[in-house]
Amino acid sequence: MMEDHSEHERQIDYIEFPATDLPAVKEFYHGVFGWDFTDWGEGYTSFRDGRLNGGFARVEQMPASVAPLVVIYSAQLEAIEEDIKEHGGRITRDTYSFPGGRRFHFKDPAGNQLAVWSDR
């Protein structure tokens, strides 16, 4: 059954971090903050901290400039992509599917990278 995310329309819904060692970050965040994790294959784990959902994507090495990826929810992925373009944003990764939905990445006019996801 699909969750109803309508109350989260166009709101920050998820945050994603890069990590070179998923077992180590899982042990750290569970031990310090009590977060629970769900693995999605060998390269991704998601967490729920009781208030916010997020995840860690495995990378071979940390990028020179590390920033978490903020993910906004929208049931109308294509429409919000057009809105982003019309308001000066730039798509940096075209829409792709993942377990649980689809998403794309974009940069805002200031250069911050974010993503928008949908379960539809």
Domains of the chain listed by start with CATH number: 74-120 (3.10.180.10)
Tell me which residue of 46, 51, 41 sits closest to 25, measured CA to CA. Answer: 46
Average pLDDT value over all residues in the chain: 89
pLDDT at 4: 66
Q: At 1, is the pLDDT very low, low, confident or very high (cuts 50, 70, 90)? A: very low
Q: The tokens of 60 are what?
A: 């071979």
From first CA to last CA, the distance across the chain in angstroms is: 12
DSSP assignment letter at 24: H
Please say if the pLDDT value at position 2 is more than 80.
no
pLDDT at 24: 93
pLDDT at 5: 66
pLDDT single digits (tens) 29-78:
998 788 999 999 999 999 988 888 999 999 998 877 778 899 999 999 99
In 3-state terms the chain splits into helix, strand, coil percentages (rounded to 5) of 20, 40, 40
pLDDT at 94: 98
**Contact (Cβ atoms closer than 8 angstroms) between residue 17 and residue 54:** yes
